[in-house]
Amino acid sequence: MKFKPLILIAFIVALACFACKNNDYSPKPKGYFRIEFPKKAYTEFNKPVPYQFKFPVYATLEKDQSRDARANWYNLHFKQFNGYLHLTYYDVSGKGEYNQMVEDARKLAFKHTIKASAIDQRIINYPKQKVYGIYYAIEGNTASSVQFFLTDSAKHYFRGALYFNERPQFDSIAPVVKFIKTDIDTLISTFRWKN
């Protein structure tokens, strides 16, 4: 009987010693899965439309099936990253729509100002190919991270917008956005009008 209180005291002392070993009481940050990026490789987009470009082989080219979709609208589906690059095209020759389209692209990019920490604009200028436009890099917890438009300033207008089917958390998707931005840069630099 004399040993029971002594065993109880020894157990409590041992427990106290082991409990005090780790003095770090701060909460641990959430962890994210490691993202495996595919090797960069590109293929030619060459459908019967007025434009062509190169796009990554790990993205699936899909015809846009939305309610407002037109004949020359496509989506690049980055299935591994649950994201889409929506691509729309308009023939603006003789319709007086060009200035309105450029203004709409600006409004759609700056619509994200509420959540964006920065919106950087870059001029796109490839005079040999008659490809001009503006590239909007949108940072922060926004629905879209990249938007751009390309035009020949006379007949053609092409727009792209990158969206992920996830709740925006810029810090967690930043590596993916950086990876896909390289693909978008390749799309733009290889972009050509067919006529």
What CATH number should be reported for the domain holding residue 134? 3.40.1000
- What is the Cα Rg of the chain in Å? 26
Lowest mean pLDDT among 122-126, 128-132, 175-179, 183-187: 175-179
> Where does the pLDDT of residue 117 fall: very low under 50, low under 70, confident under 90, or very high at 90 and above?
confident
> Which one is predicted more confidently, 130 or 113?
130
86 lies in some domain: yes
14 lies in some domain: no
Lowest mean pLDDT among 17-31, 102-116, 143-157, 169-183: 17-31
5 lies in some domain: no
Average pLDDT over residues 56-73: 84
Does residue 124 surpass a pLDDT of 80? yes
> Which one is predicted more confidently, 117 or 192?
192
Which residue range is the domain that position 178 belongs to?
53-193
> Where does the pLDDT of residue 12 fall: very low under 50, low under 70, confident under 90, or very high at 90 and above?
confident
> Which one is predicted more confidently, 15 or 184?
184
Does residue 162 surpass a pLDDT of 80? yes
189 lies in some domain: yes
21 lies in some domain: no
pTM, two decimal places: 0.76
173: how many CB neighbours lie within 10 A of its CB? 22
Separation of alpha carbons 179 and 181, rounded Å: 6
32 lies in some domain: no
The pLDDT of residue 57 is: 96
Lowest mean pLDDT among 50-64, 106-120, 170-184: 106-120
> Which one is predicted more confidently, 131 or 15?
131
Query: Based on the structure, what is the number of domains in the chain?
Result: 1
> Where does the pLDDT of residue 26 fall: very low under 50, low under 70, confident under 90, or very high at 90 and above?
low
Separation of alpha carbons 147 and 161, rounded Å: 4
Residue 3 neighbours by CB under 8 Å, 6+ apart? none
102 lies in some domain: yes
33 lies in some domain: no
Average pLDDT over residues 110-131: 82
